[in-house]
Amino acid sequence: MGIIKNIRINKNLKMAIGQLEGILKMILTKRESVEVSDQLNAVMALIKGCQNDIIKDELTEQIEDIIVTPDAVDRKAKVDKLVIFIDRMIR
């Protein structure tokens, strides 16, 4: 994964942690459910964006590795590994 993308993922995950702490405070101070729900949606969007970046990077890396693998048996094993990865991501 590229350094820039890593920095962005780290920043976004730290931001999500901060937002979750804020949500806990909102709940403790009995804020409106709609406000809490909006904040939860924002956190989920941040996390989903991080997950998408990680998945895209992993797919790219695995596909590039498959393309340059000369041995057919090794290439098939790598394709199988990629299929397992995709299956886990779509569950």
Average pLDDT along the chain:
93
pLDDT of residue 30: 96
pLDDT of residue 2: 64
Q: Does CATH number 3.40.50.720 belong to domain 3-90?
A: no
Q: How many residues comprise the chain?
A: 91
The pTM is what? 0.78
Q: For 26-63, how does the pLDDT look when each residue is reduced to its tens digit (9 = 90+)? A: 999 999 999 999 999 999 999 999 999 889 889 999 99
Measured distance CA(15)–CA(21) in Å, rounded: 10
What are the backbone angles phi and psi of residue 86, rounded to the nearest 5°? -60, -45
26: which 2 tokens? Answer: 């909102």
Cα distances (angstroms) measured from residue 43 to each of 10, 16, 46, 69 = 14, 5, 5, 39
